[in-house]
Amino acid sequence: MITGEDMEALGYKYFTEGQALTLNDYQAKASATAIYPESAKITYAAMGLANEAGEVLGKVKKIIRDGTFSREDILDELGDVLWYAAALARDLNSELSEVAQRNLDKLASRKERGVIGGSGDKR
């Protein structure tokens, strides 16, 4: 697991305001806060991802129940989803940019073949 000290030793610099944050930069910075045992790789991040996605849904549900909408609360939970997605990608020895590109390629292929709608992973 990469620590904050490791990142500093490698010359990693924190971002200054106005600089664009790439997915891979986010993943590297977020990994400094990943504290879970090596033996729980993949499973810990996958469970956290599912949990945080549920918390996003819970915030959206409150729109129906309470008639209130908090953009900030939803964005905060969405940030937690992104953290766990970054951790899971790292645990799978992948960068977030690769995950994003694979998804765009898959969607483009589905659109090209006219199967963007419907169901099934391998359409």
pLDDT for residue 87:
98
The pLDDT, as a whole number, for residue 95 is 97
From the number of C-beta atoms within 10 Å of its C-beta (0-12, 13-18, 19+), residue 89 rates as buried
Q: List, in order, residues 6 or more apart from 36 with CB less than 8 Å away.
A: 44, 45
Please state which architecture CATH assigns to domain 37-113.
Answer: Orthogonal Bundle (1.10)
Q: What type of residue sits at position 16? A: T
Are 86 and 96 within 8 A, CB to CB?
A: yes
What digits encode the pLDDT tens for the residues 13-60? 554 566 789 999 999 999 999 999 999 999 999 999 999 999 999 999
**How long a stretch of residues is the chain?**
123
Round the CA-based radius of gyration of the chain to a whole number and report it: 17
Distance separating alpha carbons of residues 100 and 112, to the nearest angstrom: 18
Please determine, for residue 1, whether its predicted confidence score (pLDDT) is greater than 70: no
The SS3 assignment for 14 reads coil
CB atoms within 10 A of CB 91: 20
